[in-house]
Amino acid sequence: IPFFSKRFSIEKQYADIINEKYSAKVEALDFGQTKQTAETIGEFVSKTTEGKIKHFIKEDLVSGALSLIVNAIYFKSKWEHEFSKESTTNKTLHSSANSKKEIEFLNAPNVIHNYAEDKDMQVLSLLYKDTSYAFNIILPKKRFGLDKLRKSINGAIIQKLLSQLQPTVLTISFPKMNIETDFKLKEALIAMGVTKIFSDSAELTGIAKPKHPPLFVSDAAHKAIIGVRRVLFHFH
């Protein structure tokens, strides 16, 4: 949802596109009231993620801004093939050569799942009840080789492997997990070559009336929570 300062007159065509494409509406807030604005937007994020992501929007993110565009996603689904309660066991997870932890693992012997591999990695695809969605897991073949793999992998390599997925009889074991990430996107986007949108020369015409100062993106932030359980998966 785009949240704009009340000082802006938003173009009707832009508001119509937001409504038609995203089933949302442009919200006008008093960005001079930083605390109230942060709370209002934060409540939207919390409600959309069923209370899983709270206090994401801080006052410092609102201060000096003229607008915030917030994309909040909540996905929760059961697995197509649930893991049995009896299959859950405690095992040692080695996250690095010098770090290990005893946690619960989900196990499933002799099951059929979509699988592919190349010389560097294995890909396991677990379907949800709605089989148009899947949870794809990438595992480096070399132990503790994730950092090296991340530097060499790209979208084309991943898409090629996903296109090669085939039903395969497997014995799988992977940890129950709850992962939370919270980081700034601006630096990552600039490193990828997305720079103009963060400058005064950003071409964001068509959003607000021409009488207003040119719009540009001053910052971008991201937060995600992923939970993997025996019966279901959730993502926020």
Query: Do 108 and 151 reside in the same domain of the chain?
Result: yes
112 close to 100: Cβ distance less than 8 angstroms: no
154 shares a domain with 198: no
The radius of gyration computed from the CA coordinates of the chain, to the nearest angstrom, equals 22
Cα 112 from Cα 126, distance rounded (Å)? 10
Tell me if 124 is assigned to some domain.
yes
Residues 6+ apart with CB under 8 A from 146: 140
Structural domain that includes position 50: 2-72+186-219
Same domain (yes/no): 149, 102? yes
Same domain, 172 and 192: no
135 neighbors 177 (Cβ within 8 angstroms):
no
Of the residues 153, 178, 203, which one is the last residue of a structural domain? 178
Quote the number of domains for the chain: 2
Helix H or strand E segment including 117 = strand 99-117
Contact 120, 175 (CB under 8 A): no
pTM of the predicted structure, to 2 decimals = 0.68
Same domain flag for 7 and 67: yes
Tens-digit pLDDT profile for residues 116-145: 999 999 999 999 888 898 989 999 999 888
Q: Is the pLDDT of residue 210 over 70?
A: no
**H or E element that contains 93:** strand 89-96
DSSP state of 83: P
Domain-ending residue, one of 178, 205, 229: 178
- Which tens digit of pLDDT belongs to each residue from 5-57? 888 888 899 899 989 988 888 888 998 899 999 999 889 888 888 888 888 88
Residues 143, 202, single domain; the answer is: no
Q: How far apart are CA 92 and CA 104, in angstroms?
A: 9
Helix (H) or strand (E) holding 138: strand 134-140
Question: Considering the domain boundaries, does residue 236 fall inside one?
Answer: no
Match 């899947």 to its residue by tokens: 134
- Predicted pLDDT at 124: 93
Confidence of residue 179 (pLDDT cuts 50, 70, 90): confident
Distance CA 189, CA 217 (A): 12
pLDDT of residue 125: 94
